[in-house]
Amino acid sequence: MPRFKVPEATVERLSVYLRSIKRLKDERVLPSQELADLVGTSDGQVRKDLAYFGEFGVPGQGYRVGTLKEEISRILGVDRVWSIALVGMGNLGAALLAYPGFKRQGFEIKVVFDNDLSKIGKVWQGVKIEDVEKIPQILFEQEIKMGIIATPAQAAQAVASKLIEGGVKAILNFAPVRIVVPDRVKLRNVDLSIELETLSYFLGRKGIAGG
Amino acid sequence: MPRFKVPEATVERLSVYLRSIKRLKDERVLPSQELADLVGTSDGQVRKDLAYFGEFGVPGQGYRVGTLKEEISRILGVDRVWSIALVGMGNLGAALLAYPGFKRQGFEIKVVFDNDLSKIGKVWQGVKIEDVEKIPQILFEQEIKMGIIATPAQAAQAVASKLIEGGVKAILNFAPVRIVVPDRVKLRNVDLSIELETLSYFLGRKGIAGG
DNA sequence: TAGATTGTTAATCGATTAACAATC
DNA sequence: TAGATTGTTAATCGATTAACAATC
């Protein structure tokens, strides 16, 4: 659909645009400048981002909110429900499973995996905890294409390989390690070490003493 | 210390370099190509990143691991302990508080805030839960410069303002909303909506049917 | 010295910003 | 029509990659 290669940053901003207009009335017509103000970018950036995917605006008027919601949802592929497999039922895994925002946005955790025998077989938040060994089999059966890794670092690479074996095409990795996946698999990392250390770097630059 | 403006991406990679060499012996001398292989980048990128901050390498040899650890730790400001305030004691807040990796890397959650009266006053993981109203006061007293927001979206902006009022200079925001802070404050967002929707976009491009 | 690898400069690539003709 | 704002092209900016003289 897009006529040129789309920067990853553009896709990320589309997600922010969509969330920021969700509360607005469909009938409202929003100039790029107003949408830009809502999310903290520039009007030109907004128009450039949207123009990768078509001509959604009305010159002299702006963009109709209802159209934007439909088009951006379609572009991002969130006009449907995605089934997700979550691996790792520690503190973070439990927090992710309990977070109601996922389901609200069309991301449904359908199955959870752990290697702890005391957890396997139990049901949390209405989702059954399965043995990590069954990842490939269950993912195939349920046609799950998206996986979240919330395991300790040392388990992450093996888990990733199992997910991919089961047909997963996109992985969100919370484990503090760089995992390797084939080019055909999309990988994103949420890396708390990087986040905190980048903040620390910034604070250090400012020569701040307190701690 | 850096002679030119340093890209944020360089700072993020330094964090990855540091983690990847932590397991290596200090005496080992590592060519840029080997460090690049460890983290999945190029030798030139490694040399460029390091050269922003000085000349740490030995031509014909490489970089001594012990030197790299010391220098990168110093650059990132992780050769010290940072005190952190965590706001929001829901599922995610509890998971962050319980995560042992923070302390191990020199980031210590010293105080937790919530607005739930049934939680205020309790002690979790050895950390006292305080009333959000006390944020500015307690942060000043304890000279805390770094804050983590793990509240619902609607509370995040007010919490951010209170943190800044208390002297915080760097914020890590997990709430699914764009918060606004003054230029002097460093803000980073961990945004699960963006992560999942970027994966969804990628899957959509591939014309995958299963769900 | 010969071999290897750094630090740095120049070339390339890609994303953002500025500007404006086209259009409602 | 006049006014406003889009979609797009050109200019700018910044980061990555390539290449190589300097150096151990």
Q: What is the pLDDT of residues A86-112, one digit of tens each?
A: 999 999 999 999 999 999 999 999 999
Structure tokens at B149: 């927001």
Nearest CB partner across the interface for B99, out of A91, A94, A107? A91
- Does B211 contact A80 at a Cβ distance shorter than 8 Å? yes
Instruction: Please state the domain extents for chain A.
Output: 8-76, 82-195
CA B164 – CA B83 distance, rounded (Å): 15
Q: Does A124 touch chain B (CB under 8 A)?
A: no
Contact B108, B127 (CB under 8 A): no
Q: CATH second-level architecture of A8-76?
A: Orthogonal Bundle (1.10)
Supply the pTM of this predicted model.
0.94
**Burial profile A62-99: b = 16 or more Cβ within 10 angstroms, e = fewer:** bbbbeebbebbbebbbbeeebbbbbbbbbbbbbbbbbb
Inter-chain CB pairs, A–B, below 8 Å: 194
Which residues on adjacent β-strands are paired with residue B107? B82
Nearest CA in chain A to B93: A95
B141, amino acid identity? E
Res B62: pLDDT: 98
Superfamily of domain B82-195, CATH level 4: NAD(P)-binding Rossmann-like Domain (3.40.50.720)
Nearest CA in chain A to B210: A143
- Give A79 CA → C13 C1' in Å: 34
For residue A154, count CB atoms less than 10 angstroms from its CB and return exposed for 0-12, middle for 13-18, buried for 19 or more: exposed
CA B52 – CA B58 distance, rounded (Å): 16
- Model pLDDT for residues A31-40, shown as the tens digit of each residue: 999 999 999 9
Residue with tokens 């945004």: B191
Mean pLDDT value across residues B18-44: 97
Number of C-alpha atoms within 13 angstroms, CB side, residue B37?
5
Percentages (nearest 5) of helix, strand, coil residues in chain B: 45, 20, 35
- Model pLDDT for residues A35-79, shown as the tens digit of each residue: 999 999 999 999 999 999 999 999 999 999 999 999 999 999 999
- Model pLDDT for residues B68-125, shown as the tens digit of each residue: 999 999 999 999 999 999 999 999 999 999 999 999 999 999 999 999 999 999 999 9
| Confidence check: pLDDT of B211 > 50 | no
Determine the residue among A201, A203, A205, A208 to mutate to test chain B binding: the one whose Cβ has the most chain B Cβ atoms within 10 Å. Answer: A201
CA B2 – CA A5 distance, rounded (Å): 34
- Give A173 CA → C22 C1' in Å: 46
Res A5: pLDDT: 87
Q: How many CB atoms lie within 10 A of CB B103?
A: 11
- Give A65 CA → C24 C1' in Å: 17
